[in-house]
Amino acid sequence: MKGAPSPRSDGPRSRLVGLRDDLAQLADRALDRHLRLAVTGLRRSGKTVFTTSLVHHLLDGRGLPFLAAVHEGRYLGARLLPVRDGRAFPFEAYRAALAADPPTWPAPTEELSRLLLAVRFRTTNPLLRAVQPIQELVVEIVDYPGEWLLDLALLDGSFESFAHEAFALAETPPRAAVAREWLDLARRVDQTGPADPAAIDALVSAYRAYLLACRERLHLGYVVPGRFPRPGELEGHPALRFAPLPPAPVRPGSLRAAVSDAFERYREEVVRRFWEDHLRCFDRQIVLVDLLGALNLGPAHFADTQRALERIAGAFRYGRSGLLARLFAPRIDRVLFAASKADHVAPSQHAALKQLLEILVAPAGRAARFEGLVPEFLAIAALRSTDVVRTEHDGQVLSCVRGRLAENGRETVLFPGEIPPELPEPEDWTSGRFRFRSFAPRRLRPGVAGQHIRLDQALEFLLGDKLR
């Protein structure tokens, strides 16, 4: 298992340790005792909070009534294992931030990190019960910025198709408003001339500024290539020296040739490596979707979320895993689409939230079904930050939510609008029908029930069968 593409001191000793770990992992995998869980989702969909709350609750072992192992009294406990290669998920720091007074949400993820959790339980398998009644399952969770996933679609396309899509997107609102500078530059640049580093730099930084504006100013989720807005450790990497260009013939040594070479390098060295090292070998996947945020921002953002979801769901090859397949080419055999932040609306609207998500994911869900896998849908809140209040307003009894607003910490009672159970009509957007707000977190405490919504059901779907 290789970590992120970062320079590491690979002494013979650490290489030996790594080899031993690899072998142990292979053995665990063969015995079905190692489970890799992909926590996927776009930016601000709540991946980090989900992972933190999941680990907190598994360590705590209480307040998970829908997890069969807990409910049947077979769940014994969990402990964190040290992560030897790559960056460890800073669980303790995040939990401390959520347990502090006042608690704070974790910062958005900018880097890939991993987490290993050993879960102990009493097995129900009559054969195993005779040999070793107490079993251990190692759950490996990977947290990474959601937009890296969008890059996977680049593996199938070419530079031309990538550029074509980028231009088509940039010319339509709301992106057109922030794309002008880069579009002017891209259309003006002499593609057939020699590869001038300064010209490429200007082009790339204009494109990056445009993508950053899409993400930060317009809050759009579909930002491709995903590493461009915040390259992190790839800053200055030659594979990042490309940007979409209008169609033109390619001449050796020309600017276009250099840019499209960099695109190929990005595909091979960044995207394919990410796929090979981290994503290819997942067993289970949860895709978190912040539908409320998308509804809040309007039709363009909603369509953007839908596009991103299709890309994400299409990027994984689903299929059932047998013993051989698990050893050599593990594949995802369960996928859960979860509408996150369900606590921002009253529980009576969760059914509509789930239904809307089902409609959005329908095309990708069909593809998964075609591979013999039925996706599951849930409306969840990894960490609940509101209560329900029923009150009368204009002659109607409505369920509202009560909590502290994220931006100013003020306590409020809010009716954020009704979630449509089907795709919203054009007039829904114009009439100010949705005003979902973000809430500040509540303190995360051990041993308290009701700190989440359906996290236990998500867990039961994702790992329940491995805890039998």
Partner 1 sequence: MNEKRRPPRPFELDPAKVTSIVEPESLVPEEVAESAPSTAEPRRRHRLAGVLGIGLLGLLLLQAILHVEELVARNPWLGWPFALLLAVVLASASMLLGREWAELRRLARRARLREAARRLVGSELHGEAPKLLAVVGSELGRESPAASHLARFEELASDALSDGERLLLFERTVLAPLDRHAYRLVLESSRDIGLLTALSPLGLLDGLFVLWRTTLLLKAIARLYGMAPGPAASLALFRRCLRNAALAGIADVVTQATLEHAGASILSILSARAGQGAGNALLAAKLGLEAVRETRPLPFVAEEPPRLAHIRRALGETRLGG
Question: Which residues of this chain interact with partner 1, rule CB under 8 A?
Answer: 63, 65-66, 71, 342-343, 347-348, 350-351, 354, 381, 384, 387-394, 396-400, 402, 411-418, 420, 431-435, 449-450, 453-454, 457
Residues 271, 251 contacting (CB under 8 angstroms): no
> Which of 446, 461, 346 has the alpha carbon at shortest distance from 397?
346
Tokens standing for residue 218: 């317009």
Q: How far is the CB of 220 from partner 1 (least distance, A)?
A: 23
Q: Which of 211/346 has CB closer to partner 1? A: 346
Q: Which residue has the tokens 């015995």?
A: 31
Residue 196 Cα distances to 192, 239, 246, 255, angstroms: 11, 16, 17, 7
* Least distance between partner 1 and beta carbon 27 (Å): 35
Tell me which DSSP letter residue 267 carries. I
Work out how close the CB of 415 gets to partner 1 at its nearest, in angstroms, rounded to a whole number. Answer: 5
Q: E strand or H helix at 205, and its extent?
A: helix 197-216
Q: Count the alpha carbons within 13 Å of 419 in the hemisphere toward its beta carbon.
A: 28
Whole-number minimum distance, CB 322 to partner 1, in Å?
27
Nearer to partner 1, 245 or 345 (CB): 345
**Smaller CB distance to partner 1: residue 106 or 417?**
417
Least Cβ distance, residue 33 to partner 1 (angstroms): 27
CB of 61: closest distance to partner 1 in angstroms? 14
Which amino acid is it at 404? R
- Between residues 91 and 434, which has the closer beta carbon with respect to partner 1? 434
Q: Tell me the closest approach of the beta carbon of residue 251 to partner 1, in angstroms.
A: 57
Residue by residue, DSSP assigns 121-167 as EE---HHHHHH-SEEEEEEEEEE--GGGGGGGGGGTS-HHHHHHHHH
Name which of 111 and 418 has its Cβ closer to partner 1. Answer: 418
Q: Closest distance between partner 1 and the C-beta of residue 395, in Å?
A: 10
CB of 405 to partner 1, least distance (A): 9
- CA-to-CA distance for 405 and 421, rounded, in angstroms? 26
Could you tell me the smallest distance in angstroms from the CB atom of residue 358 to partner 1?
A: 12
What is the C-alpha to C-alpha distance for residues 294 and 222, in angstroms, rounded to an integer? 12
Q: Which CB, 20 or 435, lies closer to partner 1?
A: 435
Name which of 44 and 404 has its Cβ closer to partner 1: 404
Pick the closer one to partner 1 by CB: 319 or 420. 420
CB of 379 to partner 1, least distance (A): 9
User: Which of 82, 450 has the CB closer to partner 1?
Assistant: 450
Both structure tokens of 136: 């251990």
* Pick from 277, 334, 291: nearest CA to 148: 277
Secondary structure class of 35 (helix, strand, coil): strand
Question: Other C-beta atoms within 10 Å of 89: how many?
Answer: 25
User: Going by C-beta distance under 8 Å and a sequence separation of 6 or more, which residues neighbour residue 286?
Assistant: 37, 38, 39, 40, 41, 50, 335, 336, 337, 338, 458, 462
C-alpha 158/C-alpha 292 separation (Å) is 34
Match 């979630």 to its residue by tokens: 419
36 near 142, Cβ under 8 Å?
yes
Nearer to partner 1, 111 or 428 (CB): 428
In the DSSP assignment, the letter for residue 277 is: I
Answer for the pair 285, 40: CB distance below 8 angstroms, yes or no: yes
Nearer residue to partner 1 within complex by CB, 3 or 420: 420
Cα–Cα distance between 380 and 336 in angstroms, integer? Answer: 11
